Structure 1
Amino acid sequence: MVQPALFSFLKRWNLKCKLIIFYLMFLIPMLLLNLFAYVSSTRMIQNQVTDSLAVLTGQINTMIEQKLTDIEKISSTVYSPALLDVVRRGRYIGDDSVYVKDNREMNRFFSYIVNDIDELDGVYVFTENGNMFYKSVIDQMKAVYDLERDDWYGETVARVGRPVIFGAHMPWTLQLSSNRYVYSVAKSIRGIDGSRICTLLLDLKLNSIGELVASYKKQYDSRILVLDKTNHVLFGDDLYDVGTELQEPAILTPVRGGMTQAGIRVGGKRQFLVYDTSVISGWKVIGLTEQSTIDREISGLRSLNVAVTAISSIVSLGFLLAIYLTNYKPILRLRRSMKKVEIGDFSARAEITTMDEIGSLGKSFNNMLEKINELIESEYKARLRKREAEFRALQAQINPHFLYNTLQMVSSMSVVHGLPEVDQVAKSLAGMFRYSIDNATEMVPIEKEVEHIRNYLFIQRLRLNESFDAELDIDAEAARCSILKLTLQPLVENIFVHGFRDMHKKGIVRISVKRRRSRIIVKIIDNGSGMRMGALRKLKQKLYEERNDEADVRNANIGIINVHGRLRHHFGHGYQMYFKSMDGIGTKIMLVFPAIPYEGA
């Protein structure tokens, strides 16, 4: 199965590089995510600002339209019977008393209008018969005023009873004591038959537009412009003079192009423009918000984003450092210990104190080294014991070939002189010498080891005047399996050295060798003096501990200890020795080891 390319790539790097790569794999997406969140939030704030500006311009435009609609409704009061009589009156001549009466009636109408409209600057009624009535808050009417020469009048008459709204201008009918701008609402009043009765003109203070805008604008950090249909400034918000025609192309271009929202640059500053056009007056309410205002809104978000990014980076770096200290450094220490072991320093240990898998690995590594050291020490001591045994055997042999040849000569002489027992003893002893000095192989068939025991028992029977009986039960299948040379005879010899010493009853020696499936079971039983509990416990302790000093080698149990060490070294965990003894009753030794067929000559 082909592994993903990423896994193949990571296999080429060491653990430190992998940690850095994983850190970057976490950090880079996090930075990109924060950048995306910052850009999205910035756009959202810009949209919120422009949307709020659009709401503001819409609200201001709605209020101006409502104000104009309310002012236009006042024209309906002209249709009262008293006023209709006045406006239909013929042209006055001189100080006509009728004019005085009609003027008084019209003044009541004007007072009603003035009281109802705070921002009223002047109200004028021009009848079709050439009469004129007016009321100005400040100035007087011009001495001579030709109504039909002004464009506003012609436009109003042409609208046939519909109101006409005029933007910023100087009052048309007055002798001005100071320069001031007004805006006007004019309407041609017609009768039921559709004939023109009079023309009503209302001049309103232009600063009332500013007051209306200011009441809504105070909760927004934006600039507001109000332009009439001819792009004259009705409200300039300290940017442009009221009454002048706006000449700023950056503002007019998107307005003329029908762009309700646009980004522009005015006076070297980038600004966002939003405008709304009145369907009643055709006026345009324009909102302007500087980029710096939006930047102030974004600056807090930018600081928060930078703080979150920095904290996340520091926290993730802290986690990386923690992983480095708790994982990577212990692995380095374990690696250094392994390097020492590679060059043969088995005293090295991995100093890892963590309780995780790495700590468990270090503990297992240390345990493995302990086992290796134990095995090395065991192997070394086993070799020493083997060499010492060979040396002692060599010392004891005293030229074994010479002794073997001498025993052969004794046997021949015994036959010649008619001494059969001497002949048998010599043959048994010669067989034992021949078996002992044969160094061709360490492994022998069990039947040869048993034959060696028979020769030994024959000599002991003659030496002890047949004071014991020996019973051998050897399984034929087991006799063909392998055993270490000279491992059973020392155990039998131990019976005569310890078990039958100072014993006054007839001794019994039972030797059994059986095969049970893949195991060989050897039992050696005697009815000798046995062992006390303390001595038995001490012997078992020496059998199963690795250390055997010189005193142990020279004590009375050298045969058992050496046999146990040799068999355990050769068969390993497949070998077991069981030892049972009771004081005054006897001893039982059982050996269990793998059944390996002998393949020698």
Structure 2
Amino acid sequence: MNWNSIRTKLIVFMLLATIVPIVTTMVVTYSYTSKSMKDRALEDTQNLLYQGQRNVTAVLDELSRASLNVYSDAELYRQLQTGLADFQTDSRVFAALSYMKSAVPDVHQVYLYASLGQRATIVTNVAGAKRANDTAAFPDLDTYVGTGESTSLQPTHMSHTYGFASLQPQQPSERVFTLHRRIERVPSNEKLGYVSIDVKLALLTDIVSQLYDRKEEDLYVVDNNGFVVFADDEQLLGKPLKKAWYNGAWAQEDASGGHFEQNGALFVYERVQSKAAHWTLVKRIPTSYLIREANNAAAINLLLLALSLAVIVTATVIVSLRITAPVKQLVRYMNQVEAGNLNVPIQPTGNDEIGLVVVRFRSMMDTINNLILREYKLELANKTNQLRALQAQINPHFLNNTIQIIGTLALELGVPRIYALLSALARMMRYSMDNEASMITLRDELAHLKAYVELQKERYENRFTFHVDVDEELLDAEMPKMILQPVIENYFKHGMDKAADNGELALKAALREGGLLEITVENNGSMISPERLAALQKELVSVRYADKTQDYEGQAAGGSSREAEGPIEGVYSSLQLAQAGAEPKIGLLNVLARLRMVYGDDARLNIQNRESGGVRIMLVLGMAALKGGKTDEGVDRR
């Protein structure tokens, strides 16, 4: 599709003029409908949870009042104060515990422990009453009501026998939550015993199951210590609730209820207003479930949009074709003229403005045909002769093909080493002759570098080793062409000990913070003298600050500043400084100057001696080295 075409522009404009308002209306409608549904669902859920917490509060208050029967029953309370036990007191204890058991539905069992006399009594659904003398209180009692508050609710757990082993297997274990109350001698705080009422979880389940949709929603009942009293997942019962959203819901301890959104869901919570327990009802509603009706409406709207789009596109194309067909015909006439057919038959296309243009074009072509001069034909012939002369020049590809022929002959004559060297040379030539791409990948640069090192190995009879350590994901990083060879070449020119046979040359690449690509080249050759190293580092800094308002010496010595240069002049100053140096500096200075032209201030080139001998050269390429990367100024410098 030609984006410069009037037809294309007309089609795009008409489509945008119709589609954008429709899509905008759909988006606004969807957003408004979704918000309305969320608000309505939130209000309904808050009312439902409020009623649910009222029902739970009523059950817990009734359970607490039932446990207070140990104080209201005078005979039972006197027995706990005196510790006396006989048949009549045992019957009274059984009657009191039976009343507690029947006061609240779904009570599993009631346990009473008298500290005086160390007597324990339990009333169950199946085994009736069981008694034990000279026995210790159940250990969990001290954990929940041993000190502090006299009443505590133990979160959901599997019921136990309170030390009455004979209850099994007549009394099967069930999931229960338990109210523990410490019995005290009034008005003192002397402990007379404990009473514990186990309530089946089914009682709580019957209440909260009416508060949510099990298929789509989740509901949790959590105590003030973060333990789960109720949840659909039985593995969570009685354990701390470890959810990412839990702490956020209880940021305000005094709040009676509230809501928040997190992880694609709406959370609504309501606190149970009971003195017996500090529970919280939490309902999780997936956002997708809340706005399901809006999603259905959006799907219908999308279907209608697709049908409307088909009609709009068809009508737009037909109208555009009828309007632009004469323009297309005129373009075809022009293409034929451009191809050299100056006698193309031009037919009028109508009486409108475009038809008038076609008539004027036909008149113009008649005039041009009459004004073609002989000198123009002679100039054309002259250009043709020049082109033939250029084609007669030696093509560099001829040399590359000749090298390939010689390499093939070497292979046929059984000299594979010569073929390998010629192949390496041919790869270098192809790499050098490719003048179209100024930016290449690190993979291509390393391939060229390996071919160069292969030739140097033959030259120096394998007196050195070459190691490359580059992560696979960095091989597609982009960089300027012919950057690494001058760095490696310095080793062979100035650092390599020609008499030694243990030379080492290593190249590493790593990704630094900020998306900068760092390339390090190390060798074990000769070290650079301190004076020469200082001079070289000074030249490198001068290249780096060539486009700043002060040169390097001015910054170092506090000297006078020179006039500010623009970015283009600064780059040329960098190249002039680089070209003014002498070997081995010129190669490194040129490398730094080219890097600065591409990456600006992000480019770095550092050189230093290694403690173990040899030289380390480190290049830092800017953020544009990564494909698709941008500089910190947001400009793509590739």
By the TM > 0.5 criterion, same fold? no
- TM (norm. structure 2) is 0.40
- TM (norm. structure 1) is 0.42
